[in-house]
Structure 1
Amino acid sequence: MPYLEIISPVLPAETKQRIAHGVTDAVVTAFDVKPATVTVFFLPVEGHDYAHAGLPGYDDGRPVRILIKVHAYRRDVDARRRAAAAITTAFHDACAPMVTDTAVYFFDRNLDEVAHDGMLASDHAHA
């Protein structure tokens, strides 16, 4: 943990590789974690599965809104601020010029709200 879910249009493999590298570096720097703790999930959404402002699809020239969810142990506001800026920059750099509207949402968790392999993270802290 941290885990990132990137909900976006279908992206080419080389773009996803650039994104994975960039957002991992962003999280590592902002949260002071090791790269081995960061996992990125790409959740592609086809045009018929997307609507913004009540209008479906991607094909009319409107900016496509990208949602990046960050699931992580609770961090202070400055760390989240750094992460939001760095993740957005990394994502945009990897996708330029096709992406202009990115939202980053943080889903902060306490250690007792996360389990890996059936054991609460808070239990690992005491083991």
Structure 2
Amino acid sequence: MTENAEQQVPSGENGDNSQQPDSPSPMPTQQPQPIYVVLPPTNRFAVASLVLGIMWLCMIGSILAVIFGHVARNQVKRSGERGDGIAFAGLLLGYIGGGIGLVVWFSHPLRDAWEHLAPSFWLGRW
């Protein structure tokens, strides 16, 4: 009967295969900590180049956008700041705006000259 009595003892009471669900675990589980990434600041000349390239400001903005864009790209390469793409966009807008401004600037006198010559040309008067 002693053999049967040992068999009837539930596990965990005699210490052999003891698993106690209510006991604390030996090592507390850690919750995952949030990861904070610190990004370098965006170059201010790059932002100024983009804004001036968008605004154009009678071609003065385009000239400043090109200047600030080149300054910003050089600073970004040296310091590791962000904003190279923004500076490139400002450069692109500055060059496009400047090119359109130059075409308009130089074509306006030509257009006026053509208007003065065109009536005499079409009428056959020289």
TM-score class, shorter: under 0.3
* Higher RCO (CA 8 Å, separation ≥ 6 residues): 1
Question: TM-score under structure 1 normalisation?
Answer: 0.22
Larger strand fraction of residues: 1
Structure having the higher helix fraction is 2
